Structure 1
Amino acid sequence: MATVSEATYELLRVHGLTTIFGNPGSNELPFLAGMPEDFRYVLGLHEGAVLAMADGYAQARGGPAFVNLHAAAGSGNAMGALTNSVYSHTPLVITAGQQVRSTIGQEVMLANVDAASLPKPLVKWSCEPACAEDVPRSISQAIHTANLPAKGPVYVSVPYDDWAQEAPAEAQHLLGRSTAAAASLSAAQLDDLAGALDSARSPVLVLGPEVDAEAANDDAVRLAEALAAPVWIAPSPSRCPFPTRHRSFRGVLPAAVRGVSDSLSGHDLILVVGAPVFRYHQFVPGQYLPADARLIHLTGDAGEAARAPMGEALVGGVRDALSRLAGAVTPGLRTALPPLPAFPPARTSADRVHPEELFELVRGTAPDDAMYVKESTSTTAAFWSLMDLSRPCSYLFPASGGLGFGLPAAVGAQLARPERQVVALIGDGSANYGITALWTAAQYEIPVIIVILKNGTYGALRWFSGVLGAGETPGMDVPGIDFVALATGYGVTATAVRTGDEFVRAFKTALGSGAPAVIEVETELTEP
């Protein structure tokens, strides 16, 4: 008979989970000691970076990732990164080692006290199996739960003496199991929605990350063109669901009640697809909707539908709904929108690189199918106004705003998609949260390019201080950090630049190197 460890590895293999992201401790060694040769272990030097790498990997590959953490301490270290995975709906199967069963109640060293409660409420589901024989079934439940709508992270704590126990014969049934969502708009619902859009005087689309996660971008384009409707991206986007140079594209909605309402003013029907309604940030109160506007919400997340403060909601598969809806509405009812104007001229700086100039140079030099992982929060407006994102999975951003996602997520995304160049655009404040991921990039020869925008301060925080009227507060500046020295110490080639010409030379060298690279760019301080 197979052991619990052998049965679990076979289950992981069936589901394609043969890459394990982790940072091991003593509780995890009995599981890892049995790792088959066709599995790959990706070591990170801190659990926050481990989880963010797995997050980027899962989002880029469009499927779940497997994470192995160390007991309560390792789980706690990963908790900040876990907040991003929740709101990006990333399917992560997170396991943690536990002390041997007979000692857990004594709270011996490295016992995970009340392990199933530790990651709540951030995970969809968590457990510690009641007995060793139930470990394979619990892992199976975790995999299916993570991958069913709405996707998200799950957590399983396993006592380390369980792995050597004999697995029950019934565990073989787990290998043939499959689960799939089948939610779809009914014919009547589709007809009603298409009729509402056809009869609207001025419909507008608001698209969210679920559209990109389901690779429904082209369906969104077909619908926008059939309606001749403008398209906004929902506030605080973690992905880009619509091509940014399409004639319908209007930008990203501000993350405030009044800002959303003002931006959508004049539209009588607002169709929100694949996004919460809405994820506000700045507290700028106002009317939730423009006067006389109707809001209809399409989402695969019943929780998002239920907690929205306004509108009508339909819960089902976003890709299926968009595809069918694009063919159901009546084209030609409205005048086609004019093409977008040319890119605005990028601002420059006398003694450093302005972020607008930097993004213009990146746009002109990077491959057309480059994937961008961004965590420079003070340059948001500049990025969206100057970048040309046209392909699915071209942009990732921390979904809950938790710093430390960007640099490790870029490493994970590049590992998942070696055929596409991943370019990380990371602020100097953000970079320090996940800097240890550079070691992983070097050791595993992952050719990600990390561009660090160095302005010596928490730029977004300075802007927010003005929004709140807080004035000058302590802890806003981060001077004196040498990212070239840090990267070199981790084994990554790095260079520092202060002009646009220097950046282009360094960027082209990095693109042709086939190795990880860091480019530190002295940048002008801007506002989001």
Structure 2
Amino acid sequence: MATVRDATYELLRAHGLTTVFGNPGSNELPFLAGLPGDFRYVLGLHEGAVLAMADGYAQARGGAAFVNLHAAAGTGNAMGMLANSVYAHSPLVITAGQQVRSTVGQEVMLANVDAPALPKPLVKWACEPACAADVPRALSQAVHLANLPAKGPVYVSVPYDDWAQEAPEGVRHLTMRRTAAAGSLSGAQLDELVAALDEAENPVLVLGPEADAEEANVDAVRLAEKLSAPVWIAPSASRCPFPTRHPAFRGVLPAAVQGVSDALAGHDVILVAGAPVFRYHQFVPGAYLPEGARLIHLTSNPGEAARAPMGEALVGGVRDALARVADAVTGGRRPALPPLPGFRTPPAAASGDRLHPEELFALLRRNAPQDAVYVKESTSTTGAFWAQLDLSLPGSYFFPASGGLGFGLPAAVGAQLAHTERQVIGLIGDGSANYGITALWTAARYGIPVIIVILNNGTYGALRWFSKVLDSGETPGMDVPGIDFVQLAGGYGVAASAVRTGEDFVRALKDALGSGRPAVIEVATELTEP
């Protein structure tokens, strides 16, 4: 007799979901016991780290990841990281064990009361199947929904006595199902968009994370070059969709209404591709658009299209749209943009026993592999990072898409698990590192050769900057001194060193690059503002 559990593993196998990220509890044991030999289980020591590892893995591999959480408590522990996954459009298939079906209404220990409501409104879809026979079909629906535009996390709660029940007739059809998006601009829509760009006096491109996720970077470059148009990355950048040393690159737009309007002043047509319009942060009100500007929005996400406060939107495949527009626009109408000046000299740190973050990033640019992948969660060094790093390949940069700390370190571990051919380097602030520090154990346990660089300035640097923006004055709980990350890493089984000079950092980096093992480099850094 084929069971619901058997049918589920066949379904996961058919979709290539043979890596399970989790932290098991009693409700999950009946599903996990006797894990098939072609599956691997990646254990995290806290569900927040589990979800962030799966998120980094999914984004780096460009496909879905499977997550197994423990009932309501485990789901709750993962919710902070789930917020990042939603805005990163990470296709996560999240399952959680539920108590025996007949006891849930009694609210016995480990019953997930109203399980589908718990992860809402963050997930695209959540359910607890009405009966055991519907579990495989519900999980099939979850996989397809996670992967269809706009991609995102889904959630299925499964009572643990369901796994042993007989699989229903016809379940084999689920393994053969395939779904794919087919959204594309019509001929008339394409013609109108091309005409708007061709007729523009001073067009500008604003690119977002979806352009990088779809590997539309090359098409974006072609379009920028044909239009001789400058290119910005949309505010609150979680990925890098454009080469940072291309003559057209202008940086990341500020995450404030007035800041965006000021930066785009003088442009008559603003084409936004693969980003919400816009993900603001600090409240600086003003005009949404410069006077006389027309904004055209390309996105696969109907929600993002509908909720934007300005502009006109076209909903469809971003890569397809950029490629077709790049083919169709008329080139040579405007003079080519001049090359960017060379990298500026990093400022010196005020103290001789600390590095300025820009100097650290310049050293990485010179000494890390050219195709390195950076997972960054050092929020007070954003400007320094973009000033010094040279990113040219798709999928080279990941940042928490919703600002929830704890993403960076585990996501770097997950991204390295997905990448056997590229070195992943996590750039993590000392405040952020403590949220996901347990992921170091996973890196050591599975021999994942990620390099974690901890920028230690002893304080929550971004909060100190925000206290000035908000004029809130001195606030308690800002500083986190006295943490020894070398000892913490060693306790989890990861080799670590602490450095205070550029020479020592380069030496530690080269040792880590050649080790084939996970490594932590703690760097004493000067406090800077984002």
TM-score range, shorter chain: over 0.9
String of CA shifts for 1:140-173, please: whole Å, max 9, x gaps.
Answer: 0000000000000000000000000000121111
String of CA shifts for 1:238-258, please: whole Å, max 9, x gaps.
Answer: 000000000000000000000
Partner of 2:386: 384
What is the rounded CA distance, in whole Å, between the counterparts of 2:23 and 2:146 in structure 1? 21
1:257-336 alignment runs, 5 A limit: 257-336=257-336
Q: Give secondary structure in 1 for the equivalent of 2:298.
A: strand
Q: Using the TM superposition, give the Cα deviation of residue 331 of structure 1 relative to its aligned residue in structure 2, in angstroms.
A: 0.3
What is the rounded CA distance, in whole Å, between the counterparts of 2:206 and 2:375 in structure 1? 22
Partner of 2:488: 486
String of CA shifts for 1:177-214, please: whole Å, max 9, x gaps.
Answer: 00001000001100110000000000000000000000
String of CA shifts for 1:257-279, please: whole Å, max 9, x gaps.
Answer: 00000000000000000000000
Partner of 2:123: 123
- Amino acid across the alignment from 2:189: Q
- Amino acid across the alignment from 1:371: V
What is the rounded CA distance, in whole Å, between the counterparts of 1:216 and 1:453 in structure 2? 32
Partner of 1:411: 413
Partner of 2:14: 14
CA contact (8 A) 1:48 1:78 kept: yes
Equivalent in 354, 364, 371 of residue 352 of structure 1: 354
What is the rounded CA distance, in whole Å, between the counterparts of 1:246 and 1:13 in structure 2? 41
What is the rounded CA distance, in whole Å, between the counterparts of 1:485 and 1:78 in structure 2? 26
Q: Is residue 213 of structure 1 aligned with residue 182 of structure 2?
A: no
Q: Using the TM superposition, give the Cα deviation of residue 17 of structure 1 relative to its aligned residue in structure 2, in angstroms.
A: 0.1
Q: Give secondary structure in 1 for the equivalent of 2:355.
A: coil
What is the rounded CA distance, in whole Å, between the counterparts of 2:92 and 2:217 in structure 1? 23
Q: Give secondary structure in 2 for the equivalent of 1:447.
A: coil
Partner of 1:188: 188
String of CA shifts for 1:417-463, please: whole Å, max 9, x gaps.
Answer: 11100000000000000000000000000000000000000000000
What is the rounded CA distance, in whole Å, between the counterparts of 1:356 and 1:60 in structure 2? 26
What is the rounded CA distance, in whole Å, between the counterparts of 1:361 and 1:175 in structure 2? 49
CA contact (8 A) 1:238 1:396 kept: yes
Q: Is residue 400 of structure 1 aligned with residue 402 of structure 2?
A: yes
Root-mean-square deviation (CA, aligned residues, Å) is: 0.4
What is the rounded CA distance, in whole Å, between the counterparts of 1:157 and 1:60 in structure 2? 26
Q: Give secondary structure in 2 for the equivalent of 1:170.
A: coil
Partner of 2:240: 240
String of CA shifts for 1:296-347, please: whole Å, max 9, x gaps.
Answer: 0000100000000000000000000000000000000000000000001111
1:453-492 alignment runs, 5 A limit: 453-492=455-494
What is the rounded CA distance, in whole Å, between the counterparts of 1:137 and 1:344 in structure 2? 56
CA contact (8 A) 1:66 1:92 kept: yes
What is the rounded CA distance, in whole Å, between the counterparts of 1:36 and 1:351 in structure 2? 52
Deviates more, 1:247-256 or 1:345-354: 345-354
Q: Using the TM superposition, give the Cα deviation of residue 131 of structure 1 relative to its aligned residue in structure 2, in angstroms.
A: 0.4
- Amino acid across the alignment from 1:176: M
CA contact (8 A) 1:262 1:290 kept: yes
Identity %, equivalent residues: 80
Partner of 1:229: 229
What is the rounded CA distance, in whole Å, between the counterparts of 1:284 and 1:130 in structure 2? 48
Partner of 2:527: 525
Q: Give secondary structure in 2 for the equivalent of 1:356.
A: helix
TM-score by length of 1: 1.00
1:488-507 alignment runs, 5 A limit: 488-507=490-509
Number of equivalences: 528
What is the rounded CA distance, in whole Å, between the counterparts of 1:483 and 1:449 in structure 2? 14
The runs of at least 4 aligned residues of structure 1 exceeding 4 Å deviation read none
What is the rounded CA distance, in whole Å, between the counterparts of 1:318 and 1:232 in structure 2? 16
What is the rounded CA distance, in whole Å, between the counterparts of 2:438 and 2:129 in structure 1? 33
CA contact (8 A) 1:90 1:151 kept: yes
What is the rounded CA distance, in whole Å, between the counterparts of 2:405 and 2:435 in structure 1? 7
**Unaligned stretches of 5+ residues in structure 1:** none
Partner of 1:86: 86
CA contact (8 A) 1:9 1:35 kept: no
CA contact (8 A) 1:18 1:39 kept: yes
- Amino acid across the alignment from 1:51: L
- Amino acid across the alignment from 1:446: I
CA contact (8 A) 1:216 1:322 kept: yes
What is the rounded CA distance, in whole Å, between the counterparts of 2:55 and 2:281 in structure 1? 23
Q: Give secondary structure in 2 for the equivalent of 1:87.
A: helix
Partner of 1:443: 445
Q: Using the TM superposition, give the Cα deviation of residue 34 of structure 1 relative to its aligned residue in structure 2, in angstroms.
A: 3.6
**Unaligned stretches of 5+ residues in structure 2:** none
Q: Give secondary structure in 1 for the equivalent of 2:171.
A: helix
String of CA shifts for 1:477-503, please: whole Å, max 9, x gaps.
Answer: 000000000000000000000001000
Q: Give secondary structure in 2 for the equivalent of 1:239.
A: coil
Q: Give secondary structure in 2 for the equivalent of 1:359.
A: helix
String of CA shifts for 1:100-156, please: whole Å, max 9, x gaps.
Answer: 011100000000000010000000000000000000000000000000000000000
Partner of 2:138: 138
- Amino acid across the alignment from 1:147: N
Partner of 1:39: 39
CA contact (8 A) 1:5 1:34 kept: no
What is the rounded CA distance, in whole Å, between the counterparts of 1:180 and 1:282 in structure 2? 37
Q: Give secondary structure in 1 for the equivalent of 2:496.
A: strand
